[in-house]
Chains A and B, each alone.
Chain A
Amino acid sequence: MNLLHALLRILVFPGLLFAVPAAWMVLWIERKAVALLQQRIGPPFGQPFFDFVKLLGKGTPPRPGLDGALMRAWPLVAVSASVGAVGLLPVLPFGAGFSGDLILLLALMEIPPICMIVAGFTSRSLFGEIGSAREAVLLVSYNLVFLLAAVSIAVSQGSFRLEALASAPPTAWRYLGLFAIVLCLPAKLHVNPFSLPNAEQEIYSGPMTEYAGFELALWQLSHGLEWIAGVGLVAALAVPDSAQAWLALAGTLGMGLVLVLLLALVAAGTARLAIDTTVHFYWQCTIVFAVLAISSALLMRLRS
């Protein structure tokens, strides 16, 4: 992958130019779907865009010194990492990508939650600190399953290269791994049963409590891009590769839409779980699928 190719992927497709409108679209679809499931009419088309522009034009409280600089830096780092993660998605068979880009993608997907944790502590708000502590526990609980499942997919195909994984014929073991990843997505995206860090009825807005204006707009954007990265990763790996590029792309977009609607259904149909129940859910229940996926993938590798 040369420099121009990499820049195009990060800035144009599937990076910034495509991912930002797509992020607003996904956030709108999720809000609209939840509203329709609750028999409401829901927000008008383009609502996340209106929210973003309005937040850009709002003032931020003056914060002098290092704290202020850090609080401005965290959302920027989160957005950059998310754009990088989206840019690595194997949605078009360009022959791009490099060996081990799955590892880079997983690492970049971990950066926004970590930024959120430190942002909560930097804000020195009590609610921010509680939210950050919850986010940290959530991160530890779902990541064990998430990373095991991702590794199982890589092991089953014998490659850490996303391009190779997306183009290889999908096996039953890969779908087991993808199922475990899908189970982690609600926690990764903070939708309802796992909306612990930003539980507005309990701790205001968690780590975001002290954020306003431009910085809050960036956090919203980063959240939307996380949606694109998470849903896009699963969709790109789940849809079988096709000889025609447009067919594969349409399949990936359709699969992404189905996943977003599924997550909206989960969000509308569940109530928030307590933090210990969440940890039990991932470390006792969901881990079964991840262990099954990785052990079967390893056994298949040993047999072949």
Chain B
Amino acid sequence: MRMWRRLLCACRRRSPWIFHMNSGSCNGCDIELIAALTPRYDAEQLGVLLQGSPRHADILCVTGPVTRTAVNAVQTVYQQVCSPKAVVAIGSCPATTNVFIDSRVLVGPLNKHIPVDVFVPGCPPRPDAIIRGIAAAADLLAERGQAPTLSFGPETHEIREVQP
């Protein structure tokens, strides 16, 4: 059982599948995230695969300052990702709402709505920084795997309210 757990942790570290979610981004960070997957940076070396469905993903990559229309979608998609899962906030917008601060249409930053594990600051961040953030999130997933929690399934996962 211990060996299985260790194997599972190693595999979680080596196979982070990501889902990309835009919560009202200007597309700057989205382009950089795609650049991280293209031949120049090639995130697949670390086993990173961009998945089409949040059900398949381990890491939710969120860009954008979370607009009022996007917040429900962000929460729904977060719940659709099966545990164990991690969230990477890409760019300065999900971290602080950046230059859009105090805008009426925003309800960000992101960690008011879902728990964020890794922040990758920058406007936009470089692709290598994004890859590093995803690798850090994969390490987190592996560490969480060592804790004996068996509460699987999105519905059992409690959404934390984190005050900014």
Q: A residues touching B (Cβ–Cβ < 8 Å)?
A: 31, 35, 38-44, 47, 49-51, 53-54, 56-62, 127, 198, 200-201, 203-205, 208-213, 216
Interface members, chain B 43-88 (any A CB < 8 Å): 44-45, 47, 50-53, 55-56, 58, 80, 82-84
Nearest CB on B from A206, distance (A) = 8
B52 lies within 8 A of A205 (CB): yes
CB–CB B11/A200 < 8 A: no
- Comparing B23-31, B113-121, B149-157, the segment that makes contact with chain A is B149-157
A62 to B145 alpha-carbon distance, docked (Å) = 20
A197, B12: Cα distance in complex, Å: 27
The reply to whether B8 and A53 contact each other, CB–CB distance below 8 Å, is: yes
Is the CB–CB distance between A50 and B8 below 8 Å?
no
- Asked if B14 and A50 make an inter-chain contact with CB atoms under 8 angstroms apart, the answer reads yes
CB nearest to B142 among chain A residues: A54
Residues on B with C-beta less than 8 A from A216 are 55-56
Q: What residues on A are CB-neighbors of B128 within 8 Å?
A: none
Q: Assess whether A35 is in contact with B11, with CB atoms less than 8 Å apart.
A: no
Q: Within 8 Å of chain A (Cβ to Cβ): is B139?
A: no
**Cβ distance B144 to chain A, nearest Cβ, rounded Å:** 11
Q: Indicate whether A39 sits within 8 Å of B39 (C-beta atoms), given known contacts A62-B155, A213-B82.
A: yes
Q: CA of A53 to CA of B155 in the docked complex: distance in angstroms? A: 23
Chain B residues whose CB sits within 8 angstroms of the CB of A209 once the complex forms: 52-53, 55
Across-interface contacts of A58 in B (CB, < 8 A): 58, 82-84, 152
Residue of B nearest to A211 (CB): B55
The answer, among B12, B42, B84, for a CB contact under 8 Å with A40, is: B42
Inter-chain contact A61/B145, CB cutoff 8 Å? no
In the assembled complex, the CB of A187 is this many whole angstroms from the nearest CB of chain B, namely 20
Give, as a whole number of angstroms, the nearest-CB distance from A210 to chain B. Answer: 6
Q: Tell me, yes or no, whether B162 is within 8 Å of chain A by CB.
A: no
Contacts of B8 in A (CB 8 A): 53-54, 56-57
User: Is A41 a contact partner of B152 (Cβ separation < 8 A)?
Assistant: no
Minimal beta-carbon separation of A183 from chain B (angstroms): 27
B159 at the interface (CB under 8 A from A): no
| A62–B152 CA distance with the chains assembled, in angstroms | 9
Q: Which chain A positions have C-beta within 8 A of B15?
A: 47, 50-51, 54
Question: Hey, which chain A residues are within 8 Å of B42, CB to CB?
Answer: 35, 40-42
B101 within 8 A of A: no
> Smallest Cβ distance from B48 to chain A, in angstroms?
9
Is residue B7 within 8 Å, beta carbon to beta carbon, of the partner chain? yes
8 A-B pairs with least C-beta separation: A59-B152, A200-B52, A204-B52, A53-B11, A212-B55, A40-B42, A54-B11, A57-B8
Q: Give the CA-CA distance A30 to B131 in the complex, in Å.
A: 23
Expressed in whole angstroms, the minimum distance between the Cβ of B45 and any Cβ of chain A is 5
Return 19 A-B CB contacts under 8 Å, by A number.
Answer: A40-B44, A42-B45, A43-B47, A44-B14, A47-B15, A50-B11, A50-B47, A51-B17, A57-B8, A57-B145, A58-B83, A58-B84, A59-B82, A59-B152, A62-B153, A208-B53, A208-B56, A209-B52, A213-B152
Instruction: Tell whether, in the assembled complex, residue A60 and residue B82 are in contact, meaning their CB atoms are under 8 Å apart.
Output: yes
